[in-house]
A and B are shown apart, each in its own frame.
Chain A
Amino acid sequence: MLTKRIIPCLDIKNGRTVKGVNFVDLRDAGDPVELAKQYADIGADELVFLDISATLEGRATTLDMVLHVAEQVNIPFTVGGGISSIGDVDALLKCGADKVSINSSAVKRPELVNELSDKFGSQCVVVAIDAKQVDGEWKVHLAGGSISTDIDLFEWAKEVETRGAGEILFTSMNHDGTKNGFANEALAKLSEALNIPIIASGGAGNVQHFIDTFKEGKSDAALAASVFHFGEIPIPDLKKELKANNIEVRL
Chain B
Amino acid sequence: MKLVIINYGAGNIKSIQFAFKRLGIDAVLSNNPEEILAADKIIFPGVGEASSAMTMLKESGLDKLIPNLKQPVLGICLGMQLLCESTEEGHTKGLGIFRTKVKRFSNDVKVPQMGWNVIKDLKSNLFFGIKENEYMYLVHSYYAEHCDETIAKTDYGINYASALQHNNFYGVQFHPEKSSLAGVKILQNFLEL
Contact = CB atoms under 8 A, between A and B. Distances in A.
Contacts of A247: none
Interface string A80-111: 00000000000001111110000000000000
A76 B137 contact: yes
B183 interface: yes
B22 A74 contact: yes
A94 B18 CA distance: 12
A74 B14 contact: no
A25 B150 CA distance: 43
A19 B115 CA distance: 26
A75 B107 CA distance: 27
B128 interface: no
B181 A74 contact: yes
A75 B110 contact: no
Contact of A123 (B112, B116, B117): B112
Interface stretch (B30-38, B68-76, B172-180): B172-180
A230 B21 CA distance: 32
Interface in A107-124: 118, 120-124
Interface in B1-36: 11-12, 14-15, 18-19, 21-22
Contact of A74 (B107, B111, B140, B177): B177
Interface in B134-192: 135, 137, 139-141, 155-156, 175, 177-181, 183-184
A130 interface: no
Contacts of B178: 74-76, 98
A197 B110 contact: yes
Given A75-B178, A76-B178, A196-B111, A2 B116 contact: yes
B48 interface: yes
Contacts of A75: 137, 178-180
A110 to B, nearest CB: 20
A167 interface: yes
B118 interface: yes
B115 A45 contact: yes
A167 B115 CA distance: 11
Interface residues of A, number: 35
B92 interface: no
A124 B48 CA distance: 9
B114 interface: yes
Nearest to B155: A1
B14 A95 contact: yes
Interface in A65-81: 67, 70-72, 74-76
Instruction: Name which of A2, A67, A71, A221 has the most chain B CB atoms within 10 A of its CB.
Output: A2
A123 B173 CA distance: 14
Interface in B86-113: 107, 110-113
A121 B178 CA distance: 18
B56 interface: no
A40 interface: yes
Instruction: Name which of B140, B156, B179, B180 has the most chain A CB atoms within 10 A of its CB.
Output: B180
B109 to A, nearest CB: 8
Contacts of B140: 123
A71 B21 contact: yes
A72 B52 CA distance: 30
Interface of B: 11-12, 14-15, 18-19, 21-22, 47-49, 107, 110-118, 135, 137, 139-141, 155-156, 175, 177-181, 183-184
16 contacts: A1-B118, A2-B115, A5-B115, A40-B180, A71-B18, A74-B183, A76-B178, A93-B12, A120-B47, A121-B47, A122-B112, A166-B139, A167-B114, A195-B111, A196-B110, A197-B110
Given A46-B115, A74-B19, 16 more contacts: A3-B135, A4-B115, A5-B115, A45-B116, A67-B14, A71-B21, A74-B181, A75-B180, A76-B137, A96-B18, A98-B12, A118-B49, A123-B114, A166-B114, A195-B111, A197-B112
Q: Which 6 A-B pairs have the closest CB atoms?
A: A96-B14, A121-B48, A250-B135, A250-B116, A123-B139, A2-B117
